[in-house]
Amino acid sequence: MHGAAESALRRTRDAVEPVLRTAVETLPGRLRSIAAYHLGWEDADGTALGGIGGKLLRPGLVLAAAAAVGGSATDPAVLRSAAAVELAHNFTLLHDDVIDRDQTRRHRPTAWTVFGVENAILAGDAMLALALRLVGGAAASRLAECVIEICDGQYEDCSFEHRDDVTLDECLTMAGKKTGALLGCACALGALAVRADPLAVAALDLFGREIGMAFQLTDDLLGIWGDPAVTGKPVGADLTARKKSLPVVAALSGRSAAAGELARLYALGRDFTEHELRHATDAVERAGGRAWAATEATARITKAHAHLGRASRVELTAMHDLRAIAEMITRRTN
């Protein structure tokens, strides 16, 4: 993280973590323990740990969006929305780790490997319900719509694993639902919490969706070329499992020899060996998938800035944090 974005996310942590902790404390004991483990507050045996493991990007967007339309980032309604968005995000992570059978998240064993699949699913469900209860009213309806869109995106993502004809457009649409929707919703909820003009809410939603696309593109790149010591996840897991991530689908859509090699590896129908993983990583790069994803991520950030510019009521002077967070997304290393 860099400068202004880093300090915006640090302020977010200070402001939102107490609200999150108070909310999670209201969960029944065993569900609370799983949520506290997943959020990095406790070890598996209940020993207190340093703090929340995630970057708090989505709550950061809630606070920055509220400020951008002239509201206060310390308004209780804004803080509740920020905590709710983070709870909903963590519901998706808990369930996603179960679906993918991922072993590691945020440098630690995933909740399902520690507490069991059923319990991790139930803790995720409880966190989503907590999110909706925390905001209530119109904000809860908006968040619920967003979660339905995320589930639709996740459904598409899973269904792509059984197809070998997935197009780049399909993949981009899926990423917009799976990841872009929640970043858009975070911005919209921040603006709604301070009763912003509907035009500004819509512009901020579109801004969030575009940076959400850039976020997913960068996430996919980090999944292949990131440093596991920084990302907290094993490198190459998506490729090994032959996932249709954006750089892979971009590479497969070309006609180069490297695209053919990648297609043959994907047609093997089983997880890759270490040697095949190295070959596939190299083929995605040579077939242009890495360069395409990096360029597309930058283009999405440019589009996002244009949405801010079109929001006539948005306070131009107060948009600094939103711009800083957007710029940080393509540079991030975790």
Ligand X SMILES: CC(C)=CCC/C(C)=C/CC/C(C)=C/COP(=O)(O)OP(=O)(O)O
Which residue ranges make up the site for ligand X (CB under 6 A)? 54-55, 57, 92-93, 95-96, 99, 106, 150-151, 154, 178-179, 216, 219
Token pair recorded at residue 68: 């951008």
SS percent in the chain: helix, strand, coil, step 5: 75, 0, 25
Return the number of the residue (34 or 283) whose C-beta is nearest ligand X.
Answer: 34
Say whether 104 sits in a helix, a strand or coil. strand
Three-state DSSP string of 3-58: HHHHHHHHHHHHHHHHHHHHHHHCCCHHHHHHHHHHCCCECCCCCECCCCCCCCHH
Between 113 and 216, CB nearer to ligand X: 216
Q: Which is nearer to ligand X, 81 or 92 (CB)?
A: 92
The nearest distance, CB 319 to ligand X, in angstroms, is 21
Q: Cβ of residue 218: shortest distance to ligand X, in angstroms?
A: 9
Q: Which is nearer to ligand X, 127 or 196 (CB)?
A: 127
Q: What burial letters (b/e) apply to 218-252, b meaning 16+ CB within 10 Å?
A: bbbbbbbebeeeebebebbbbbbebbbbbbbbbbb
DSSP string, 207-244: HHHHHHHHHHHHHHHHHHHS-HHHHSS-TTHHHHTT--
Q: Is 9 exposed, middle or buried (0-12, 13-18, 19+ CB in 10 A)?
A: buried
The smaller minimum CB distance to ligand X, of residues 211 and 259, is found at 211
Nearest-approach distance from CB 275 to ligand X, in angstroms: 28
State in angstroms the smallest separation of the CB of 171 from ligand X: 13
Residue 157 CB, nearest distance to ligand X (Å)? 8
**Angle (nearest 5°) at CA 178 between 238 and 244:** 30
The tokens 């951008």 sit on which residue?
68
Output 234 or 254, the one with its CB closest to ligand X: 234
Burial annotation 77-100 (CB, 10 A radius, 16+ → b, else e): bbbbbbbbbbbbbbbbbbbbbbee
Please state the closest distance from residue 258 (CB atom) to ligand X, in A: 26
Write down the least CB distance from residue 34 to ligand X, Å. Answer: 16
Please state at what angle helix 274-286 crosses helix 198-225, rounded to 10 degrees. 130
Task: Name which of 257, 265, 264 is nearest 288 in CA terms.
Answer: 257
Closest separation between CB of residue 267 and ligand X, Å? 26
When CB distances to ligand X are compared, the closest residue is: 54
| Distance in Å, CB of 216 to ligand X, minimum | 6
Of 79 and 183, the one with the shorter C-beta distance to ligand X is 183
The runs of H, that is alpha helices, within 136-232 are: 137-160, 168-175, 181-193, 198-225, 228-231
CA distance 313 to 334: 34
